[in-house]
Chain A
Amino acid sequence: MSDLTIVRGKRTVAQRILGFFGNSIVNVLLLIIAIFWLVPSVGLLLASLRSVADNSSSGWWTVFTAPAQLTIENYANLLANPTITGSFWNTIMISVPTTAAVVVIGSLAGYAFAWMEFPGRDWLLIGVIVLLAVPIQVALIPLARLFGSVGLFGSIFSVILFHTAFGLPFAVFLLRNFFLQVPTELLEAARLDGASEWRIFRTVILPLGLPAIASLAIFQFLWTWNDMLVALIFTNSQSQPLTVAIQSQLRQFGSNIDVLSAGAFLSMIVPLIVFFAFQRYFVQALLAGSQR
């Protein structure tokens, strides 16, 4: 009844204390979780910035007691290694064309499924949805033979083809769903004006579907960039991407943590930049369809 209660609202002091504590418990809990989630990446970063000798005698957390030991020597060594730099370029040469191909082919098919009327459309679409969940393992042996017989085996092109094909079901399904959101009136008006389907695709669908295409492109890029299994089988030492080059270090040296940590962090830099720059689109792609 006093002024105090009016100013502070309806809750009693006890409730307020409880509320504050409940809230801060959640805060502290999530803070601890966040730290736990960060430790692995931060540890890798710090290990990659320590010298070979330091890494073999003590853990990365000792940098907090002796901060002077940081060095970029590992990265310098890594970038002076032609195998690593070559594989870095290979990774780009694989990821960029794959992403472009998936986006172009996927948006063409996505438009057809969303806005064109043709016999068997639903069955074809169900076929695409079925293929969404096909594990890549079923294609490894036959495609290794197929690519071998046409002389593609061991080349970057074989990996591009593989990822493009297995990226398509997701791309088609995702883009179909997005393109369906384009207002019907827009398309009908364009068709009545006599615009060709190709023209509608270019001038109406593509501009309006740009956020969806961006989502897909980021997702596909990261997926191709991070792949190891396909590249492990289909590339040779000249065409291998970064992931394969790094894992061969793991095989060769066992626990050569400095080369490994610098290499692993190098392979993470581009995905992390993409992630932080475009995380909105990345999340959109996940929400739109996640059956990979």
Chain B
Amino acid sequence: MTQQPAVVPVPTQSGRADGSQPSRRSARRRMFYIALGFLAPALVLLGALVLYPIIYTVIRSFYSPGGEEFVGFDNYVTMFTNETTFTAIRNNVIWVIVAPVTCTVLGLIFAVLLDKIRWATAFKLIIFMPMAISMLAAGVIFRTMFQENPNLGVVNAALVAINSVFSDDSAYPGATVRPDAGLQDDGGTISAPGVNPGSAQNFPLVGVKQSSLPANAAEAKEAPDPDSDAISGTVWLDVVQGGGGENGEVGDGKKGLPGIKVDAVNADGTIAGTAETNDAGQYTIAGLDGQGYVVALPASNFDPGYQGVSWLSSAFINGVVILSYVWIWAGFAMIMIASGLSAMDRSLQEAARIDGASEWKVFTRITAPLLSPVIVVVFVTLIINVLKIFDLVYVIPPGTSKPAANVIAVEMWTVSFGGGDNQGLGSALAILLLILVLPSMIINIRRFRQERER
């Protein structure tokens, strides 16, 4: 981990030992042929399988889909005007801005905090481990984690669990009326029209799981006869566990539904009175002086409540895919930066601390500037890597949100191999990727040159 061969000095030209022979020229020529022998396999493979394809792809990008016709820059124009490819390019821009920065910042934070804990090695292993697995496996993992159904997707399950801590309304999701009870179920609101004070209105409901009843639900009881200015009744689960009983009748061990809000609504739609059912499901709305109320159980009683977020929908898909990338690559940034830190001479930091500098000052004024070469390496590597991101985007988004998550590498695959059959446009997209990595190539060459001059 302490080895850093990238900064090894290069041997000087004079360090060669073949000057002793009388014919230097023939010795040199011999050396050249020997070197060629050592290099040949690599040069042949690189020439035939990397260099030649680059040239071919450049030329191919100026030809029609099938390759018969020269079309000039048409493919490049298409690339920037076609909505699909344009989305892909835009998403790549988002990726390049968000993913490398997030990975580098997280890596930096982890690397700096690592100093302060005893289990640093274990922590490094845990964060770095995703680097070993394929993007396909990571894709499967994240696609599963971010499923919408909170019973299956762990993220939504956690969100729903957290939400239920803060909102304690007892809801009966999915409850409906018994079909023959003479009640209306109108978009979740269950109501009985034309009820006069002094009479009872019962609500036999179905569609609630026995297991989801609150613990305080007692056996349902008929409400006592109401006063002349009141409406009373019972809301109960009209199902007997194990079967039996008479539909629409209280008794036989049927449970009342506690905590249901009941409204008495005037003809003009205003709420004249409201009540909540008790443990036995009984309610009484008093103080009513008119006639012909609508007794309603508002939809809020049956609202399924918070169900999490549709993570894999078009709105969030890029976030999920980028998050999976960060999960994989933050470890890389952490390892690189941590090794930069461990190779660093700490005496400057110590001196600053003795002079009374705060930890934050030590970090921003001394540690971070000294680390900047490593951070640049990490950043450039991540940008190169992010530009050609393929597997995660190919695997995670379900069909409906694929267009929203598209990136250049996936689009290149789609148009040239995945059914598009347009190798002209595919070549142009590949060349775009090549152009986008050019700046990092130049940075690499610069670094190499600087290193040689040292």
Contact = CB atoms under 8 A, between A and B. Distances in A.
A14 to B, nearest CB: 17
A142 B123 contact: no
Given A109-B38, A143-B49, A135 B144 contact: no
A176 to B, nearest CB: 9
B49 A246 contact: no
B433 interface: yes
Interface stretch (B183-191, B247-255, B424-432): B424-432
Contact of B38 (A112, A164, A286): A112
Contact of A108 (B42, B125, B398): B42
- Prevailing SS type, chain B contact patch: helix
A52 interface: no
A144 B53 CA distance: 10
A177 B3 CA distance: 11
By CB atoms of chain B within 10 A, which of A225, A226, A233 has the most? A226
Interface in A107-147: 108-109, 111-113, 115-119, 121-122, 124-126, 128-144, 146
A77 interface: no
Contacts of A271: 132-134
B381 A290 contact: yes
B142 A138 contact: no
B116 interface: yes
A178 interface: yes
Given A178-B5, A271-B133, A184 B437 contact: no
Contact of B54 (A119, A139, A180, A188): A139
Interface of A is mostly: helix
A157 interface: no
A140 to B, nearest CB: 7
Interface residues of B, number: 108
A272 B336 contact: no
Contact of B50 (A166, A289, A291): A166
Contact of A105 (B45, B122, B390): B45
Given A34-B123, A180-B10, A59 B137 contact: no
Contact of B39 (A108, A184, A192, A289): A108
B395 A250 contact: yes
A264 B53 contact: no
Most buried by B among A109, A133, A286: A133
A268 B137 contact: yes
Interface of A: 23, 26-27, 29-30, 33-34, 37-41, 43-44, 47, 55-61, 104-106, 108-109, 111-113, 115-119, 121-122, 124-126, 128-144, 146, 161-162, 164-166, 168-169, 172, 174, 177-178, 180-181, 184, 188, 191-192, 197, 201, 212, 222, 225-229, 232-233, 243, 246-247, 250, 254-255, 257, 260-261, 263-265, 267-268, 271-272, 274-276, 279-280, 282-284, 286-292
Given A126-B448, A141-B423, 12 more contacts: A30-B113, A30-B114, A61-B154, A105-B41, A133-B441, A137-B412, A139-B54, A168-B45, A180-B8, A197-B34, A261-B140, A275-B129
16 contacts: A27-B117, A30-B114, A33-B110, A39-B154, A105-B41, A135-B409, A136-B388, A139-B53, A165-B45, A165-B46, A172-B42, A229-B391, A264-B141, A265-B137, A283-B339, A286-B335
